[in-house]
Structure 1
């Protein structure tokens, strides 16, 4: 009997990644088919990973019953789910309100900034007097730096 990677993982109680790593490292031998699917012989799998029953082989009946006692019931889980959904709805409402406030503040700030900005006046240079010589600024960087 040969297992696929997923079947081998279920039979051994390990993850598919663990089985794949064991194959790649050479600890576990497998045949890779043309389709890319691994075929792992049962004897080879259980040589490396002893057979388990639903991953509960190492549990005693006492620990299994204790685990069942501690698991929440379906009604309790539904109640928790409803509470979480209600909290999410409340948070969505708060987020929507905060976004509205932000947009209002942004509009108000934009309007205030528009009112406070000075109107730019055209810059006019005084016309040179006919009796004063026209002074040209130095052209190059070094001339401007050192005069």
Structure 2
């Protein structure tokens, strides 16, 4: 049976990087395939890294559930729940207040912007008389310097 790098990591409980470093350093032998993936024999892997036992396979129903000594009381859980609900209600109130403030500020800003916006007017250039020369604006410093 041969593992890929990921399968070997799961079987040994190590990371893929650890397995890869062991291969590169020569501690663990593996065959590199044409695709670039490593094939690691199970015996070779478990020679270097012992096989880990899956904890979920060995659990009995008694160890899954908490014992009565470790179980929090119903009153304690209800108190925690009520405290959490109060915190959520407080946060909801703060969010509502912030939204109202935001809406008021938005209305004020819109009113100020509406008052300050200039009314667009049509700007007409004066008609040039045939005998008036066209005056060009003076050139800037860089235009005068470099033409």
Bin the TM-score by the shorter chain: 0.3 to 0.5
Where is the helix percentage greater, Structure 1 or Structure 2? 1
Q: TM-score, normalised by structure 2?
A: 0.46
